[in-house]
Structure 1
Amino acid sequence: MRFIDRAEVYVKGGKGGDGMVAFRREKYVPAGGPAGGNGGRGGAVIFRAVPNLQTLLDFRFVHIFAAQDGTRGGPKNLTGAAGADLIVDVPCGTVIYDNDTDECIGDLTEPDQKLTIAQGGKGGLGNKHFLSNRNRAPEHALPGLPGEERSLRLELKLLAEVGIIGLPNAGKSTLISVLSAARPKIADYPFTTLVPNLGVVPHPSGDGVVFADIPGLIEGAHAGTGLGHEFLRHIERTHVLVHLVDATAPDPIQNYRVIQQELEAYGHGLEKRLQIVALNKTDAIAPQVLAEIRADLQSCCGQDVLAISAIAQQHLDSLLQEVWSSLDRAKQQRAEQQRVEEESMATLQPFF
């Protein structure tokens, strides 16, 4: 299955049905009068988030989504049938933008969350609505209104709590493969991973935590170099970042700085995200050299640096313990921030 995380579509609400011109001509009803019914409303286009979809691949083949039109009003004051709404399923984590204004219309993150994208048009009025003392036999009705039309851009941002970042060949795919049941392609050359990989890692509480391996981060990624620009958006929703640094690289300290510069240049608060820094492939270098690299890296990043080996599965328990504690801190910070925002809104409420 191809991983497609961006698509452009065109949506159109159904046209409202036309009103009808009709008159009652029944036996024993000498003054029947107008009896044309209203047209039915047009159907709406509704996007629904579903958990069983992982990519926007379906939107590569179908670009136009149009809801059903309403039907025309009938005689005897009968209202036309409303057009059926069109439900379009999208993966959880899909963000919808208006292509013309670049406005964010909605962000569908919860299963079965729905968003009306294009309203259907109203049905036209039948001639019964134009009856008056001056016009006892109106012979005109209104047409139905057209539905809303929009050109949209869909972007998928993965719903992962932990993002694994680092330069190509730092061991990100190996790490997610040993921590979870994910089986990404792994090779001894850079850019093996071409799409983000998701893996569910068991939490001590019994729940599963989603980890995402983000590929293609190199110098200049924020500006479109390599694959990083395409996939940096997928770590916007993460609570914690695990920054893997290849301990066998010629200059691990510079490798760390490159990724930090890219996160800062990309923005969206990624540079402020809680980070766990870990030296990987430590089984391949001498302990004395490792101690020197670790000390230099700790001095550079200003925090404790873990030493692990994903392929040898060494010290991964320590890494996970740090991830769980960091997740708890991140969630507490977000809850506190949300509480402050709610209190601020409650304070401003009397002024609106």
Structure 2
Amino acid sequence: MTLPACLTSGRNTVDTMSSERLIKNSSGELSFVRERRKALAQLYGGLARTMGQIGKTDLEAPFIALAADAGKQANTKPQTAGEKTGAAPEPIVARGSPGPVTISDFPSQYAVWAFAVDNEMALFGDIIDLASRADGPGERAVLMKAAGDCLDRAARYRIERRIAYHALRISEEIAQFPDIRRIDALEDFVYVALAIERYFRRLLECHDEVGGGIGAIMTATDKIIAGLEPMAQDTHPSRRLDRPLKRLEKIAGRPVGARPAGADNWARLAVEAGRIFDYYDQVFETAQDPQVMALSQRLSASAIERLRLLRKMRNDALPRDEKGTTGPPRFI
């Protein structure tokens, strides 16, 4: 199969601080790691304090745990909800992509743990870059150990994310995407991606404000679907995908009811859009078939653009005192 033109744009990548800047701004590589851990401890602690002040104790708890975990390596006492004051919560902004962090970025514990995984992987990438430029084997070995610590943390946070995901499925039905290990060939991924995009299109139909930003996202999603449908003609996915695909298609085909066009619904859509991007990105990272890699790369680019737009619309829908500020984007 050949890839349709609508899926052949380049893959977007997350912007991060360059290693050169990081080295120049620190007294050494280990100082850089400690400072990043300290910044994470402060970020998580501030989010824990904010969640406690607004009564979201179910989201306060994981942020307290994350602040303590980051604070151990930074040798700094994390600022947590135990240090509450009468002052109003301040907006919290972190570096990275795809946008400034606000309260509505975290509608569930799943979103909290997904955020933590993203931060660990961003830090891992920067440490690996530093290690490649290290002056000697001693410095390189220390940095590689720090990189391994990031992977260990990310693995633990993925477990927590998985637990939160199953809890979320119980409280609110969301689609379960097929295990990427079941995707052996391009035909498999085409059918999976088509089902995922149709599912997301159904979620967009829940929004009772058609037009404007939501209309642009619907149009972009319809374009992806239109590009995938010809690829699925006269082909069949592997039999071991039958059951997960049927479950996903069943959810995508159900009638939908309108939701209010507010910040909470934008946040729900953004969480699912982020989960779809994460899925496509994982397919790209694990794929052996060059055609699967190419298609997942193009879909990842489309998915991150969709996520950016949803986050902007979510932020625009917030009350003024809850809006994220313009500045460095998401990850520390």
TM-score, normalised relative to structure 2: 0.28
- The structure with more radius of gyration: 1
The structure in which a higher percent of residues are helix is: 2
Higher relative contact order (CA 8 A, sep 6+): 2
